Structure 1
Amino acid sequence: MESVFDDLAAASEMESDPASRRDLTLVRRIAIGAWVVLIALHFVFYGVAWDRTRLIILLCLGLAAASIGRRKFITIIKDWAPFALVLILYDWTRDIARIVGMPTHWNLAIDFDAWLFGGRTPTALLQEQLKQASPPWWEVIVSVVYMSYFIVPYAVAAWLWLKDRAAWRRYAACFVATTFLALVGYTLVPGAPPWAAARCTAVEVQDYPRDPICMYSPQAAEPGGLLGPLEPAHPDAEPYVERISARGWNYLNIHMASQLVTLGQGKSNLVAAIPSLHAGLTMLLALFMWPRVKALGKTLYMGYALAMAFALVYSAEHYIFDIVLGWALAAAVIAAYRFIDWKWLIPRQKRREEAAAAGAAAGPATPPADSSDDEDPDAEKVTTHARGPFHSALRVRAAFAGGGSRLPVGGEAGVLRRRVAHRRTGNEEEP
């Protein structure tokens, strides 16, 4: 019964009536417009969907709208449900770091950054020179870049799914691998971020605590804490490192957004700094898209990764040490994916294509019984080669046409041949 429904769906997708195709296009555009309205209403009443599960649900609704007349809805569930479930599992297992209870490193990243930059951390240097008493206009960009991490990687995944499902599968695998490998780092090597180090003294963290009381105070008992005091270049700026990743929203008087970000940060793993997943996933995005986009795209994706690194360091969310490890993790995952692609996936796809080409060249042993001398060669090629899941679809199409067994030729025949070739190679996408 399922094959019958598949054949009927295939036949409907091959509708030759231009009016019917325009109807599907119109329905798709109306659905996309309704989705845009839904997103706008969600933003007005609930704000930006920072929650991963809610964001994926909203994206899948958009994909369903964009798939009308192009792709079966069940494909969205088949592809995105496992992806979402794995990421939800990651959210559930983040507390494993607390259960394992490894000692938290407070000086490891500080020592590396200080060695690399002449005795002081880049966070202290940047806030000393750039930070002002009130957020300037450009801190809006810092806050937007920092928060875009919770949306952009998923939005690009949705775009890839619409354009190239094979690329989407590879991206999803790389995304999940990077996320879980970072979790291993958080668990085995917990690390305090710069803003926490600026609130605590060496005595308070000498036993490598995970969440000492000093982390929750506005400033350290000693000026600057582990990072030392600042000499601000701007008057009235605080003389110590602060966590200012959400401060840009205050410039726009969107205080609710700043409060929501701060609330979400408080519920997260506060010592999950090594490696930086913000830096790792944005660099993964840049490296994955690098061979798939032109010069402008390369510049934008790599610029985004670098902008994220600046935002993380300036706002005291991460050290350079964390960012370098995040970038190294992304590069390692991309290298592993390309090796697997080269070693197994590409050769397997080539074998499938060669087998499909050989089968198409061989053709059937005998011609169909209802063929005639005046039958168009292109039509005969379609009817004799369209076996398997699309064979019934062609007969349904002919029945709907009401004209015997002869099928249209020309452009539509070419479409049918391409659909059959794609189905034989195992590709479920529309050609």
Structure 2
Amino acid sequence: MWSAYLLALLVVTVLFGPPTQRIYQALWIVAGIAAFAPDRPWREHVRILVDWVPLIAALVVYDHTRGIANTLGMPLRVHEPVAVERALFGGTLPTVWLQEELDGDAGRPWWTVLTGLVYTSHFLVPWLIAAIFYVLSRERWSKYMRRILLLSYLGLVTYVLLPAAPPWYAARAGVIQAEIHRSTGFGFRLHSVDIGADWLAAHSNPVAAIPSLHAGFALLVAIALWPSAVHWWWRIPLAAFPVAMGFTLVYGGEHYVIDVLLGWVYVGLAIGLATAWERRRAPAGPAPAPTVAAPGGDRGG
């Protein structure tokens, strides 16, 4: 059953691209968990739906409300992030500098296939980790998903109250006097579909730059997997993943450095809130046993 599932997923991915639309992706996740142990009692299969459906629904609501700032009349911050970035880097914009230094004559270096993979991992890796955690430990899955939801909705509140534009938008609006290529989709091709470019078009949000949840999710994944890295060399790719995502976002024109740093700050906030809630919900420990005085302990000699 498990091998048939993997084969079907491979065929669909090669022909049509990886599942990225939320509901479609959720169906593959739930089916994969069920296929991992098909002989479990039917009540446990129902339990999978009971566990996952509310969380997927919450994420679908998040997906459909990310751009709500466009309809609320909140001013879009285009100049302010540019000004802050210039102040931090002595008048230089890291995105512009990286593209000028690394692209060379507006070319597409061979290694942009790697940045394409790193960028698009945002749409797959966090949910793959969630499925693995669910199979291994429902408690660990619950803690992980609690942080995922908190991080998502903390970002959503910020997008609504403080909509901010990414570098590529600022360049098109003339605020940045340089051409910025959205190079996160370069080179990543499966079959006839340019997956990176398709995802850029499908998931772009010109008001959701601050904070960078791409950066935040990458760090959250690394933190969630860190206890499982029992050997030090396993922790090297975990530590490199959020750094690689941050570089990809800045180089690709999707986010400023401040967006990436704030995304990491929001991870700390989400973990802190989740941990505080879990401690309050934890059952109190057993009451200490009463102290019994030894016979004759208070008598004089």
Settle same-fold status: TM greater than 0.5: yes
* Equivalent position SS for 2:185: coil
Is the 8 Å Cα contact of residues 126 and 217 (structure 2) preserved in structure 1?
Answer: yes
d(CA) in 1 for partners of 2:45, 2:88: 52
> Once superposed, what is the RMSD of the aligned Cα atoms?
2.1
Structure 1 residue aligned with 2:206:
270
- Counterparts in 2 of 1:310 and 1:325: CA distance versus 1, 3 Å: same
Q: Give the residue type in structure 1 aligned to 2:68.
A: I
Alignment partner of 1:322 out of 253, 256, 259: 259
Aligned to 1:243: 182
Higher-Rg structure is: 1
Alignment CA distance shift 1:182-1:45 (3 Å):
same
Matched to 1:82, the amino acid is P
Q: How far does residue 228 in structure 1 lie from its aligned partner after superposition?
A: 3.0
The answer to whether residue 24 in structure 2 is matched with residue 54 in structure 1 is yes
8 Å CA contact retained: 2:14, 2:191: no
Match of 2:167 among 173, 183, 194: 194
1:227 matched to 2:179? The reply is no
Aligned positions, number? 283
For residue 64 of structure 2, what is the aligned residue in structure 1? 92
d(CA) in 2 for partners of 1:165 and 1:309?
30
Q: Which residue does 1:219 correspond to in 2?
A: none
**Paired residue for 2:146, among 170, 173, 192?**
173
Between the two structures, name the one with larger relative contact order (CA 8 Å, sep ≥ 6): 2
**Equivalences for residues 272-311 of structure 1 within 5 A:** 272-294=208-230, 295-311=232-248
How far residue 200 of structure 1 moved from its aligned partner, in angstroms, is 1.9
Which of 9, 22, 39 lines up with 2:9 in the alignment? 39
CA distance in 2: counterparts of 1:244 and 1:155, whole angstroms = 25
Q: 1:287 touches 1:334 (CA, 8 Å); kept in 2?
A: no
Give the C-alpha shift of residue 53 in structure 1: 1.6
Q: Following TM superposition, by how much is the alpha carbon of 1:99 offset from its aligned partner in structure 2, in angstroms?
A: 2.1
Shift of 1:138: 0.6
Deviation at 1:262, TM superposition (A): 4.0
Aligned pair in 2 of structure 1 residues 94, 262: CA closer, same or farther (>3 Å)?
A: closer
Provide the C-alpha distance between the structure 1 equivalents of 2:195 and 2:139, rounded to a whole number of angstroms: 36
Offset of residue 343 of structure 1? 4.0
The Cα of 1:338 is off from its aligned counterpart by 2.3
Contact 1:198–1:242 (CA<8 Å) still a contact in 2?
no
SS of 1:227's partner is: coil
1:195 partner SS: helix
Equivalent residue, structure 2, for 1:130: 102
Q: CA deviation at 1:254?
A: 5.0
> Is 1:150 aligned to 2:89, yes or no?
no
Q: Which amino acid aligns with 1:247?
A: F
What's the % identity of the aligned pairs? 34
TM-score normalized by the length of structure 2: 0.87
Q: C-alpha separation between the residues in 1 aligned to 2:280 and 2:228?
A: 20
Match of 1:73 in 2: 45
1:319 and 1:166 map into 2 onto residues whose CA distance is 36
1:65, 1:255 → 2: CA distance?
A: 28
Change (3 A) 1:95 1:318: closer
Aligned to 1:13: none
C-alpha contact 2:216 2:260 (8 A) present in aligned 1: yes
Kept in 2, the 8 Å contact 1:286–1:302? The answer is yes
Q: CA deviation at 1:284?
A: 1.7
Residue 120 (1) aligns with residue 59 (2) = no
- Deviations 1:126-156 (CA, angstroms, capped at 9, x unpaired): 1111013332221000011001100000000
For residues 196 and 227 of structure 2, the distance between their equivalents in structure 1, rounded to whole angstroms, comes to 37
Question: 5+ unaligned residues in a row in structure 2: which ranges?
Answer: 288-301
